[in-house]
Chains A and B, each alone.
Chain A
Amino acid sequence: MPEADAPKIGREEVAHLARLARLALDDSELDLLAGQLDVILRAVAQISEVTDAADVPPTSHAVPLENVTRPDVVVPSLPRDQVLAGAPAAENGRFRVPQILTDEA
């Protein structure tokens, strides 16, 4: 865990996280979030009181289940036109996306 009294998160780090999460946040949102996340992270950091000392295995899921598989049989999927009907843009039976490759690429 980082030092207890230093801010756990600053504006620059929030901006970096926002880029990773594909969220175009404006300056006021970055300022607000940095302050709020610092408060929240300080509060949640208390879990280290109980987990640091003890050798406790993690739990990822409430109900332990073995691998669940279905028979390897082809079944009908949703019709393509129904799936594309909810998309913001479709073309030639496919999702249409904004440009992925730029001139430099």
Chain B
Amino acid sequence: MTDLTRLTAVETREAITSGQASAVEVAQAHLDRIAAVDDRVHAFLHVDADGALAQAKRVDAGEITGPLAGVPLALKDVMTMEGIPTTCGSRILEGWRPPYDATVTARLKAAGVVILGKTNMDEFAMGSSTEHSAYGPTRNPWDLDRIPGGSGGGSSAALASYQAPLAIGTDTGGSIRQPASVTGTVGVKPTYGGVSRYGLVAFSSSLDQAGPCARTVLDAALLHEVIAGHDPRDSTSIDAPVPPVVDAARLRDVTGLRIGVVKELQGDGYEAGVTARFEEAVETLRGLGATVSEVSCPHFDYALPAYYLIAPSEASSNLARFDAVRYGLRVGDDGVASLEEVMAKTRAVGFGAEVKRRIILGTYALSSGYYDAYYGQAQKVRTLITRDFQAAWSQVDVLVAPTCPTVAFPLGAKLEDPLAMYKQDICSIPANLYGGPAASFPAGLSDGLPVGLQVMAPTLREDLLYQVGGALEAALPAQAPTLSWES
């Protein structure tokens, strides 16, 4: 019998509807796979075997149908799921079981998706390597000594090691796309407001956006359709139809599409292998009938510094809710210590180094006397970057760039140098500040490690991302990790 863990989501659903396999068998195969390999990969923080099998039984009983009914999924641990531990990779939420489902979680359940468990992440989604998880790093299935990207490294590693065909990520500055790039998987950041943030534990509220992760473009599109759409519980949710992403993924044609290569996202600092694969992928798209030109976005150079003012500022405010009163950890409550002392002790013990760094940075940037010089100026950069995108759309349909300047780097390589870690996000941040959709698609290997092509599109034109991704996927040779560590 075929190995059920190697199937795409589409193939999995076909296997279930044709009677080749039951949803319970599919779920069990993935639970067995997790048990066999996750001690080495560490993609999951919590596995919900009982819940997964119960959901699979409902699918087998015909209670839920639909294109993803019975397909397993790995859920990033930043998304609430009723009764299931949700830690955001932090000690401060250890043991907390949310009393409600995030809208994304509820929509997955209603679609019959089988949620296997919660995946590892940099604490509160702050990081690019998953090394900032309080529960230990996740490893890249292509090379266990390398990072799987971050913050959603658990989700990307689960896909690349065949522990799940689908995953949910969240992307504030690249946390879906950079992990996809370095694990050779597909990751899509929808338009800001395209997917509800209700139940997504907030990091930077004006930037956070959940999205689909998968091994194929069509699988990602099917997942996108399930989770996207207006939600009255999120006041920033866009009340507009979901773009036709599934049709676009099936099109596999870019004839006449105008592609702009971002001038500022190449050159010094980009690994030669990344540049080579990127340029070949662009040539492939040109060969498929797209027109290619270079487009200058002069303010993209300022996206990274603006982001590292805006995101920590919003984080310092959002993370104030972890006050040792309403959920999670409480340290030092000896009957004598004051509320303030208990709060300060709890937060010192409960938060890791990167979260503390960003809280202090954000507190600084928002403090009187500095607000105008830092946060206020960063918001102006946001306007300038948006103008760059709008100017680009008068010339081209989509913009492309490498997703990340490097392939997966060795664990520990950037842990002591925060600024070097932040530079992993240099290509992905502009789309977050602008708010439009962006995706990373596999673009081949450099010395055996995956390289990602990033596509950026106008607001609510996710279909263009899937159109490019689908065409590229069909044209490039299939790539898969050897998983030599398994033998």
Residues of A that sit less than 8 Å from B by CB = 1, 9, 13-14, 17-26, 29, 33, 36-37, 39-41, 43-52, 54, 56-63, 65, 68, 70, 78, 82-83, 85-89, 95, 97-100, 102
Contact: A85 with B363, CB < 8 Å?
A: no
Known: A22-B344, A44-B305. A61 touches B236 (CB 8 A): yes
- Contact mask for chain B residues 224-237; partner A; CB cutoff 8 A; 1 contact, 0 none: 00000000100110
What's the nearest-Cβ distance from chain A to residue B401, in Å?
Answer: 19
What's the nearest-Cβ distance from chain B to residue A66, in Å?
Answer: 10
For B, the interface residue count at a CB cutoff of 8 angstroms equals 73
Contacts of B409 in A (CB 8 A): none
Among B351, B359, B380, B435, contact of A62 (Cβ-Cβ < 8 Å)? B435
What's the nearest-Cβ distance from chain A to residue B462, in Å?
Answer: 14
Nearest CB in chain A to that of B191: its residue: A63
Given contacts A9-B364, A17-B360, 18 further A-B contacts (CB under 8 A): A1-B373, A13-B364, A17-B363, A24-B341, A33-B360, A36-B418, A37-B360, A41-B361, A44-B308, A47-B302, A47-B306, A51-B377, A58-B383, A62-B434, A63-B191, A63-B236, A63-B435, A78-B100
Contacts of B308 in A (CB 8 A): 40, 43-44
| Most B-side CB within 10 Å, residue of A20, A49, A78 | A20
Is B337 part of the binding interface, using a Cβ–Cβ cutoff of 8 Å? yes
Contact: B206 with A61, CB < 8 Å?
A: yes
What's the nearest-Cβ distance from chain B to residue A89, in Å?
Answer: 7
Nearest CB in chain A to that of B359: its residue: A21
Residues of B that sit less than 8 Å from A by CB = 96-100, 191-193, 206-207, 232, 235-236, 238, 299, 302, 305-306, 308-309, 316, 320, 323-330, 333, 335, 337-345, 347-348, 351, 353, 356-357, 359-361, 363-364, 367, 373-374, 376-384, 386, 418-419, 422, 433-436, 459
Known: A61-B206, A62-B435. A51 touches B381 (CB 8 A): yes
Contacts of B339 in A (CB 8 A): 97-100
Query: How many A-B contacts are there with CB distance less than 8 Å?
Result: 180
* Top 7 A-B residue pairs of the complex, sorted by shortest distance between their CB atoms: A62-B435, A58-B379, A88-B330, A44-B305, A24-B344, A59-B382, A82-B99
What's the nearest-Cβ distance from chain B to residue A61, in Å?
Answer: 5
Contact: B383 with A70, CB < 8 Å?
A: no
What's the nearest-Cβ distance from chain A to residue B301, in Å?
Answer: 8
- In the docked arrangement, what's the CA distance between A95 and B327, Å? 10
What's the nearest-Cβ distance from chain B to residue A43, in Å?
Answer: 6
- In the docked arrangement, what's the CA distance between A49 and B384, Å? 12
